[in-house]
């Protein structure tokens, strides 16, 4: 299914924004990422974009994990959205009592032979509680299941518990006032990405989409590390902005001659 078509069908349902959806959709098609692990589903909007991309490349499977207690919380549900867009066959929805770290435990255990865990995923997207303990653990566990040259995406790079104080006291089971000031004020996904992912010997290519709060790492296992920060909203915006700058410069030079 084309990007425009799936966007038309799910637009307006939280949480993934159009820019991130486009990055994700294009990445799956360009890199042929057919076995995907999604940690944190909510309404399944990102799931629908990924399933649409899989249909474009002729198949694949997404395993999407969330909390059992949130099953009836999100309306529309992931199942309803997938049925609406007719892409249910690409997704296996898993709901766990205590969350995705125990799902990762089960996956590692089931894929371990003779003390070696066989990797199976091409892409893992971590978009859950934005918490150092849970998502730090999730990174190390998901890494064991991620194939060489696979990608790891983190959402909410800049999010803090402090920033959410005005709207609620508890986020995904964590009571804000029980945290230290440092835990409330530091973006915990940023800490995971900067201190765990970027220092991990297997990860070499890093991209931060600053405006969208997305951090991407590739498990390229290369000694040469690269880090790009993208400030513009999308590739299209970069082109538009560049054209705009060139026009301004031409106007400026004309004015001088
Ligand atoms: C921001 S939403 C995910 C949005 C979705 N990826 C999208 O862009 O459409 C975060 C989700 O993470 C789930 N979540 C939070 N903590 C979790 C945990 N420990 N294990 C599994 N899921 C969790 C929440 O229930 C919620 O559905």
Q: Which residue ranges form the domains of the chain, and what is each CATH number?
A: 3-256 (3.40.50.150)
Average pLDDT value for residue range 96-115: 98
Which contacts (CB < 8 Å, 24+ apart) does range 6-10 have?
Answer: 6/48, 6/49, 6/52, 6/85, 7/49, 9/48, 9/84, 9/85, 10/45, 10/48, 10/49, 10/81, 10/85
> Which atom of ligand 1 sits closest to the CA of residue 13?
9
Q: What is the pLDDT of residue 166?
A: 87
Which residue has the CA at smallest separation from atom 8 of ligand 1? 16
Tell whether the model's pLDDT for residue 255 goes beyond 90: no
Question: How confident is the model over 151-178, as pLDDT tens digits?
Answer: 999 999 999 999 999 899 999 999 999 9
End-to-end CA distance of the chain: 52
Average pLDDT value for residue range 199-227: 95
Going by C-alpha positions, the residue among 227, 141, 135, 152 that lies closest to residue 188 is 135
Tell whether the model's pLDDT for residue 239 goes beyond 60: no
Q: What is the pLDDT of residue 247?
A: 56
Say yes or no: CB of residue 150 within 6 Å of ligand 1.
no
Q: What is the pLDDT of residue 252?
A: 53
Average pLDDT value for residue range 24-37: 98
Average pLDDT value for residue range 108-133: 98
Say yes or no: CB of residue 6 within 6 Å of ligand 1.
no
Report the mean per-residue pLDDT for the chain.
92
Average pLDDT value for residue range 167-193: 96
What is the CA(41)–ligand 1 centre distance, in A?
5
User: Do 218 and 204 touch, CB atoms closer than 8 A?
Assistant: yes
Average pLDDT value for residue range 225-233: 87
């Amino acid at each position: 299914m084309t990007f425009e078509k799936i966007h038309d069908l799910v637009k307006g349902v939280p949480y993934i924004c159009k820019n991130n959806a486009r990055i994700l959709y294009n990445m799956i098609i360009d890199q042929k990422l057919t076995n995907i692990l999604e940690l944190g589903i909510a309404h399944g909007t990102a799931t629908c974009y990924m399933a649409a991309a899989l249909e474009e490349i002729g198949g694949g499977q997404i395993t999407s994990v969330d909390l059992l207690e949130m099953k009836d919380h999100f309306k529309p549900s992931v199942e309803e959205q997938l049925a609406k867009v007719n892409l249910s066959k690409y997704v296996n929805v898993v709901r766990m009592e205590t969350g995705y770290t125990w799902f990762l435990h089960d996956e590692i255990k089931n894929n371990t032979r003779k003390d070696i865990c066989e990797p199976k995923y091409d892409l893992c997207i971590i978009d859950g509680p934005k918490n150092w303990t849970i998502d730090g653990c999730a990174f190390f566990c998901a890494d064991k299941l991620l194939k060489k040259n696979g990608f790891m995406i983190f959402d909410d790079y800049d999010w803090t518990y402090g920033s959410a104080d005005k709207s609620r006291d508890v986020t995904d089971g964590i009571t804000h006032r029980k945290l230290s000031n440092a835990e409330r004020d530091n973006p915990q996904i940023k800490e995971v990405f900067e201190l765990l992912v970027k220092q991990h010997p297997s990860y070499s290519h890093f991209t931060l989409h600053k405006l969208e709060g997305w951090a991407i790492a590739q498990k390229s296992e290369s000694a040469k590390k690269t880090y790009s920060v993208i400030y513009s909203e999308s590739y299209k915006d970069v082109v538009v902005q560049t054209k705009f700058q060139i026009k301004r410069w031409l106007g400026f030079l004309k004015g001088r001659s």
